[in-house]
Amino acid sequence: MFAYWGKILRVNLTNGTIKEEHFDEEFAKKWLGTRGFGIYYLLKEMDATVDPLSPENKIVYATGPLTGTTAPTGGRYMVITKSPLTGYIAMANSGGFFGAELKFAGWDAIIVEGASDHPVYLYINDESVEIRDASHLWGKTSSETEEALKEEIGDKRIRAALIGPAGENLVRFSAVMNDEHRAAARGGVGAVMGSKKLKAIVVRGHKRVEVADRAKFTSVVKEKTDKLRNDPTAGGGLPKYGTAVLVNIINQNGLYPTRNFQYSQFEYAEEQSGEAMAAKYLIRNKPCYACPIGCGRVNKLPTLGITEGPEYESIWALGAHNGINDLASIIHANHMADEYGLDTISLGGTLATAMELYEKGILKQEDLGEEAPPFRWGNSEVLHYYIEKIAKREGFGDKLAEGGYRLAEMYGHTEYFMGVKKQELPAYDPRGAEGHGLGYATNNRGGCHIKQYMISPEILGYPYKMDPHDIGDEKVKMVILFQDLTALIDAAGLCVFTTFGLGADDYRDLLNAALGWDLSTEEYLKIGERIWNAERLFNLKAGLDPLKEDTLPKRLLEEPVRNGPNKGHVVRLHLMLPKYYKFRGWTEDGKITEEKMKELGIEEL
C-alpha cells in the first residue's frame, strides 16, 4: 500500500500491553482513515452503552492517508471515542504537527483501551513504544507539560497530544491539546484521556510517507495548492485575518448569536473582528503542517506576551455569546482555555447558559459565593475567574464543568441551554441559515457546525449561493452532501477549509495520485456516506432517540429573530427533517434500514 503503513498500535493501559496490528488495502478502501478507522473499531470492539469515563471506553487517535504528505493541509489527525458530554460519538479534529509526526513514526492509528492506576504517558520513537510514568506531569498546564517532556526526552522536535488540568479533572468539555494551541476539542475527548490517567502521547518519527507516483502527486498537489491560493477566502481573507474574518460577515448577515441566542447581531462585533485583532495585536499568521492557507494567529498582548489564536468560534463564544466586547480579555481567556485544555465553544456556551439563568433570577449570587463575579452580560471578569474554577472543579466551577445542559437541568430550566444532544452550539444562529440548522439537528456529535458547513452555500456562496431561507429538496440534499463530503475530507487527513477552493473531484485527484487507486468521485463520497451512517449506528446503539434528539433548542424553532436581516424568522426543521430521513434512505423515525446497511457494508457492525 502507498500512503499507509498498514500499522495500528494497540495499547492496553490496564495490563500495560503494547501490540502492533495490521490492516490491508481492502480495509483502507472501505474506511480510508481518521473517523472511518475510529468508528469501525468502536463499533466492532465496544458496547456503545458503556460509561464514557469507564475503562471499557476506547479512544482512537487516527491519521488519514494524506496526513504527513505534501497535500495541502495534510497534517490533520482525529481523536475518536464515546463522548462524556453527549453520550454519543465524539470525533475531534486537530491540525498542527502531531498528526504528521505520528505518520512519520510509521503508525496510521493508535487504539488506547483500559485505564492505568496512576498517571502515564506514551512515548513513541518510530517502532519503539513505551508506557512511562507521568506522576510528575499531573497538574501541569499544556505548555508546562510540553516543555517538561521536551526536556525529559532531550529532543525539542517531539510532538505531543496531551491534556491539561481540565482533562485530568474529567471536565465534560475538556480538549486534547497539541502544539500548545491546537485542539482536538469537541465532545470532551480530554476527559476520556483523563479517566485513563493518560497525560500525553509523545511522538518522534523519522520516516517518509511514500506515495504511488511521486511526480504525478507533486503535480496534483501544485495544481490544488494554486487553486487554494487563488481563492479569495483560502488565499485572501483567511491568511490575512484568520477565521475571525467571519465576525463582521456573519454579524452583517444577521446570524451572529448574541447573549445566548437571544439576539442575532452584536452591537460591538466590529471591535472583536479579525480586522480589529490584526490592527491591535497580530504579529504574524501561523500555518499548520503543509498548509498553504495559514489561518492561525500569533498575537501579543501587553499583559500576557505572545500567544496564539483565538479562532472565530472562540472569539464569539467568549465574546458576543456572553455579551462581552473586550477583545484583550477574550484573547487572554482563550489562552487560559488552551493552557487548561478546554473546548472554548462549550466553555462559552456553558457560561452563557449561566448568564441567562442569572438574568432570569434562577441562578442567584448566593449559589456562586460572595467573592465570585456576577454572571451579568458583558462582565469579562467571569471569563478569567471561572476558567480556572472549571478546570480545577472548584466551587461553582464544579457545576459548570458538567456543561451547559447539565447545569440548566440542575436548575430545572433546560430551555435556556442552546445546544443539540447536550453539546453547546457554535457561532451561527440557524434562524438565519436554515440548512445549517438541519445540519445541527442531525449532526452525529451534537451541536456542531464543521461537519456540514452549510454557511458555505447559504452565506459565503461555496460552491454556489443558496437562499438561506429556502428549505426545499435541493437544500436538504446539499446538507447530506456536505456531511458525506466532510467525512471524506476528514478521513483523508485534510482540513475542511480546503473546501474554500476545492471540490469533490479535487479530493479524488489527490487521493488517487497518492494511493495509486482509480476510484471515482462517487466511490469516494460513498466512503463518506458509510462513515456518517456508521457513526449514526453507534449513536442508535448508545440509545439515541431520533424523534426526540434530532432537534434544536425551542428558542430557535419557536422564537422569531428579534433584530437584523433575519427578523421574524425561525428554523422550520419540522418541514426539512422528514425529507432528510427519506433522502438518507432511513426510516421515518430516523433509523438506518437493513437495506442501507447492506448497501454500505456495515450490517455486521
579 assigned to some structural domain: yes
Query: Do 199 and 303 fall into the same domain?
Result: no
Report pLDDT for 431: 98
**Last residue in a domain, options 387, 403, 423:** 423
Is residue 202 within 8 A of residue 182, CB to CB? The reply is no
Query: Do 446 and 417 fall into the same domain?
Result: no
The range of the structural domain enclosing residue 437 comes to 429-500+519-600
Query: Do 414 and 436 fall into the same domain?
Result: no
Query: Do 387 and 445 fall into the same domain?
Result: no
CATH, residue 437: 1.10.599.10
Query: Do 82 and 185 fall into the same domain?
Result: yes
Residues 29, 62: Cα–Cα separation, whole Å: 16
Helical (H) or strand (E) element with 444: none
218 assigned to some structural domain: no
216 assigned to some structural domain: no
Residues 390, 409: Cα–Cα separation, whole Å: 18
Query: Do 45 and 75 fall into the same domain?
Result: yes
Query: Do 412 and 448 fall into the same domain?
Result: no
288 assigned to some structural domain: yes
Query: Do 171 and 253 fall into the same domain?
Result: no
Residues 206, 246: Cα–Cα separation, whole Å: 38
412 assigned to some structural domain: yes
Residues 581, 112: Cα–Cα separation, whole Å: 34
Report pLDDT for 402: 98
Query: Do 174 and 86 fall into the same domain?
Result: yes
Take residue 381 and report the three cell numbers written for it: 471578569
**Last residue in a domain, options 182, 204, 226:** 204
120 - beta bridge partners? Answer: 133, 198
214 assigned to some structural domain: no
CATH, residue 312: 1.10.569.10
Is residue 346 within 8 A of residue 186, CB to CB? The reply is yes
Report pLDDT for 422: 98
CATH, residue 73: 3.60.9.10
Q: In 493-566, which residue ranges form alpha helices assigned H by DSSP?
A: 504-515, 521-542, 546-549, 554-558
Query: Do 403 and 471 fall into the same domain?
Result: no
Residues 339, 145: Cα–Cα separation, whole Å: 10
The C-alpha cell 438574568 sits at 359
Query: Do 485 and 399 fall into the same domain?
Result: no
Q: What is the mean pLDDT of each run of 10 residues along the chain (605 residues)?
A: 98 98 98 98 98 98 98 98 98 98 98 98 98 98 98 98 98 97 98 99 98 98 98 97 97 98 98 97 97 97 96 98 97 98 98 98 96 97 97 98 98 98 98 98 97 98 98 98 98 98 98 98 98 98 98 98 96 98 98 98 96
Q: How many domains does the chain have?
A: 3
Take residue 458 and report the three cell numbers written for it: 447559504
Report pLDDT for 563: 87
Single-letter code of the amino acid located at 375: F
Other beta carbons within 10 Å of 364: 12
Residues 216, 197: Cα–Cα separation, whole Å: 45
73 assigned to some structural domain: yes
325 assigned to some structural domain: yes
Q: Which of 36, 223, 33, 7 is nearest to 129 (CA)?
A: 7
Report pLDDT for 191: 99
**Last residue in a domain, options 407, 423, 439:** 423
Query: Do 200 and 320 fall into the same domain?
Result: no
183 - beta bridge partners? Answer: 177
pLDDT tens for each residue of 301-310: 999 999 999 9
